[in-house]
Amino acid sequence: MGGYSGTEIQKLNIPNTFETYPAKQINVLMINNYTLNAECKAITIQKIADHIMVVGEIIGAKFDDKKSPL
């Protein structure tokens, strides 16, 4: 699934793939059981060649201190 973008396949709609919960400050689903989940507001969206760069401002975060980041 990592080879597909959200425009090609709606990954969160695949049954039994992700456990989600609603974000507190924005209208999106967050993926559960990660070390860090950050809710962000998009500040800049820019197309660069065949990629899209998104710069966001963190407006909320949830951190699990029992897990170790990579």
Q: Which two tokens stand for residue 18?
A: 């992700």
pLDDT for res 57 = 96
Tell me if residue 13 falls in helix, strand or coil. helix
Residue 39 Cα distances to 4, 7, 8, angstroms: 22, 20, 23
DSSP states along 14-32: STTT--EEE-SSSSSEEES
- With a cut of 60, say whether residue 1 has pLDDT above it: no
Q: For the chain, what is the mean pLDDT?
A: 86
- Express as a percent the part of the chain with pLDDT over 70: 90
Nearest to 7 by CA among 40, 42, 50: 50
- For Cα atoms 8, 28, 30, give the angle at the middle one, nearest 5 degrees: 90
